[in-house]
Chains A and B, each alone.
Chain A
Amino acid sequence: AQKITQTQPGMFVQEKEAVTLDCTYDTSDPSYGLFWYKQPSSGEMIFLIYQGSYDQQNATEGRYSLNFQKARKSANLVISASQLGDSAMYFCAMREGSTGGSYIPTFGRGTSLIVHP
Chain B
Amino acid sequence: EPEVTQTPSHQVTQMGQEVILRCVPISNHLYFYWYRQILGQKVEFLVSFYNNEISEKSEIFDDQFSVERPDGSNFTLKIRSTKLEDSAMYFCASSKGQDYGRDTGELFFGEGSRLTVL
Residues of A within 8 A of B (CB): 31, 33, 35, 37, 42-47, 50, 52, 91, 93, 95, 97-98, 102-110
User: Which of these, A43, A47, A106, A110, contacts B106 with CB under 8 Å?
Assistant: A47
Known interface pairs A33-B100, A110-B42; A103-B105 also in contact (CB < 8 Å) = yes
Report yes or no: A107 in contact with B104, Cβ–Cβ below 8 A.
no
User: Which of these, A33, A43, A98, contacts B104 with CB under 8 Å?
Assistant: A33
Residues of B within 8 A of A (CB): 33, 35, 41-45, 48, 56, 89, 91, 93, 98, 100, 104-112, 114
Report yes or no: B43 in contact with A43, Cβ–Cβ below 8 A.
no
User: Which of these, B42, B107, B108, B112, contacts A43 with CB under 8 Å?
Assistant: B112
Report yes or no: B105 in contact with A44, Cβ–Cβ below 8 A.
no
Report yes or no: A95 in contact with B41, Cβ–Cβ below 8 A.
no
Report yes or no: A45 in contact with B43, Cβ–Cβ below 8 A.
yes
Report yes or no: B100 in contact with A31, Cβ–Cβ below 8 A.
yes
Distance of A35 from chain B, by nearest CB (Å): 7
Report yes or no: A103 in contact with B98, Cβ–Cβ below 8 A.
yes
Select from chain A the residue with minimum beta-carbon distance to B41.
A109
Distance of B31 from chain A, by nearest CB (Å): 8
Known interface pairs A104-B45, A105-B105, A109-B42; A43-B110 also in contact (CB < 8 Å) = no
List the B side residues contacting A31 at CB < 8 Å. 100
Report yes or no: A44 in contact with B112, Cβ–Cβ below 8 A.
yes
Known interface pairs A43-B114, A104-B56, A107-B42; A97-B100 also in contact (CB < 8 Å) = yes
Distance of A79 from chain B, by nearest CB (Å): 19
Q: How far is the CA of A102 from the CA of B98 in the complex (A)?
A: 10
